[in-house]
Amino acid sequence: MRKVQAGGVMLDVDHKELDGILIQIDQAIDNHDQWYAQLERTLICKLPPDQRDLEKDAYKQCRFGQWYYQYSSPALRSHPTFASIEHEHQLLHERVSGLLQVSMAEAKPIDVHVFDEFANTLQRMRLLLFSLKHEIEGDLNNLDPLTGAYNRFGMMAFLHEQQELVARGVNSCSIAMLDLDFFKQVNDQYGHKMGDHVLTSIASTLLKGLRPYDKLFRYGGEEFVAVFPNTAVESALLVAERVRKYVEDTIIEIDKLPVRITVSVGIAAIDANTSVEISVEQADIAMYTAKQNGRNQVKLWENSLTQK
């Protein structure tokens, strides 16, 4: 299973499974809404409660909880927003149990502060659920379906966000331009179908080599841009070198023959006083220099590298 990026993290799913995860989330939200509608009816009409809502593990017994703990996609469980839902969901059921016990034992109305705590918890959980849905939807729309990397449409906006953080002194940021070596020869010799297979395999290798919070964009053809948030160029060089070695060691089978592909990489910093477009160009020039110097290497942008 190749990796794709979702919600800022790497998930071991393909584009089709990501679409299936979105369907799961919609169904989970619907199940949660049905549970709440029944709870509301029980409280307002003073009906006998569902005994499962009074159990200590009620959060595992509701239909949403069954999905969350048993049937949700294993890949989704590494998503930070998905993980955040657990606490609010458990707290919600604790508050529901308290509401139901008061409702059964007393004729007077439920204390407004107790109800407000429940309502606030419910709202926080719903916000997390819809945040998860919107993050997956956004990533699904912004992913390159062939490689699992982000497409280039959101790249500049993300780089501008990172530049703003750099300008405020919050963190540093570096970028890498990566280009597969001799990829045109692969297409010419084996055809575009095999070329796509190579791109998919190499993109998966790139994603495995990057850190969870790095972002990979397909820039065009066989070119990719990696963004390293909160990373100075010295550290970015180390990550890029590791990625380069991963690619070099990857064996791809074409027509039952083992084929090795290499990648040339250029590194540049995101600077508060330099436009991100220029930073991308600097990384591109550094990458081109790596190719001129023999390919299969990482090169850092320097002022002496003035043109391609």
* Cβ-defined contacts of 28-33 (< 8 Å, 24+): 28/64, 28/67, 28/68, 28/72, 28/129, 29/129, 29/130, 29/133, 31/62, 31/63, 31/64, 31/67, 32/62, 32/63, 32/64, 32/125, 32/126, 32/129
Task: For residue 277, give the amino acid letter.
Answer: E
Phi, psi (5° rounding) for residue 80? -60, -35
Q: How many alpha carbons fall within 13 Å on the CB side of residue 57? A: 4
**Dist. CA 77–CA 62, nearest whole Å:** 18
- The answer to whether 144 and 154 have CB atoms below 8 angstroms apart is no
**Dist. CA 288–CA 279, nearest whole Å:** 14
Q: Which residue has the tokens 């436009």?
A: 275
The structure tokens listed for 8 are: 């800022």
**Other C-beta atoms lying within 10 Å of the C-beta of residue 6:** 26
Q: Does the annotation mark 248 as catalytic?
A: no
**Dist. CA 153–CA 143, nearest whole Å:** 10
**Dist. CA 125–CA 119, nearest whole Å:** 10
Helices (H), the chain: 15-45, 58-61, 63-66, 80-105, 112-142, 155-167, 183-190, 192-209, 233-249, 276-292
Question: Which residue among 88, 222, 277, 281 is the active-site one?
Answer: 222
**Catalytic residue numbers?**
222
